[in-house]
Structure 1
Amino acid sequence: MTSAPAIGFDYRPSRRLLQLLLAIGVLVLVAIAGSGAPWALKLPMALASIVLVAIALRRASRSSVMGVALAGETWTLYRASREESPAVLASSRVLGTCVLLRLKSAGRTEVLLLAPDNSDADLRRRLRMRLAAMRPAESSARL
């Protein structure tokens, strides 16, 4: 039996995820403003929401991972500092046309979202097929 060809791709954070987070933040602020709570509660809730959305946007927009390679069952992460680090697939999910990977490397956990705006359909299809062929315990573990 021949081995499956290696899969390699450049990674950048999804812009759609950032837009979705921003839209959710705006909706939260509208909900707080329209609530019947007194202003003494609305202001701290609005400030806390803004801070939490800003943290989520910052985490989602910054990734030290610039590229990923999968050869056999061996994952390699290529970081912005130009270093390679081996990784282990902790879990994966297929969410519609998106693929969510959680990779553990060098004591850090990297969560990568492959969506239509940051990867092509053929890459996501090949990755879904490869993940399905891997052991079920690995690919179906919960995030």
Structure 2
Amino acid sequence: MTSAPGIRFDYRPSRVPLGLAMSGSCLVVVAMSISHLSWPIRLLVIAMALVAQATSVLRSADRQVRQVQWTSDDAWLLRMKDGRELTATLRHFRVQGGQIILNLVLAGRHGPLTLWLAPDNAQESIRRQLRMRLGRLPPHGLRADA
């Protein structure tokens, strides 16, 4: 049996997480506008929520990734903005509609790295190849939330 061919693509952060964060911010604004707290406290909570969500989206680690490669031997290589090449392991993935969410663990780093592949940042052909190859992964040792 032949191994699956490698997949390499350029990566730029998706706008989907930012849209979700903005939706969350809108919900905070609505909740605070109908609450019975005093106006200074309402404004403080709204400001804190906006700053926290903007900071988390803008500081996310995926903004450093420039290229992703999934080799034929199931290794993940990430080329970073500064030129470094890091290895990663696929922890789990999720396919939802037209987007793929990859959760990777970088070698020597704490915490996961989440890459969103959506129509705004990845070609349909790349997403199709990834879906086909992800569908062939063995169920043990990897959690697929599809």
2:113: which partner in 1? 110
**Given residue 114 of structure 2, which amino acid in structure 1 is its aligned partner?**
V
State TM-score, norm by structure 1. 0.85
2:90: which partner in 1? 89
**Given residue 42 of structure 1, which amino acid in structure 2 is its aligned partner?**
R
Say whether residues 1:120 and 2:112 are aligned partners: no
Greater shift in the superposed pair: 19-28 or 100-109: 19-28
Q: How many residue pairs align between the two structures?
A: 142
Greater shift in the superposed pair: 101-110 or 89-98: 101-110
Asked if the contact 1:89/1:138 (under 8 Å) is kept, the reply is no
1:46: which partner in 2? 46
**Given residue 104 of structure 2, which amino acid in structure 1 is its aligned partner?**
L
Gaps of 5+ in 2: none
Determine the C-alpha separation between the residues in 2 that align with 1:33 and 1:11: 39
Q: Name the structure where helix makes up a greater proportion of residues.
A: 1
Summarize deviations over 1:71-126 as a string: whole Å, max 9, x none: 12111111111121221111111122111111112333321000010001121111
2:56: which partner in 1? 56
Say whether residues 1:101 and 2:102 are aligned partners: yes
State TM-score, norm by structure 2. 0.84
Greater shift in the superposed pair: 120-129 or 32-41: 32-41
How many percent identity over aligned positions?
39
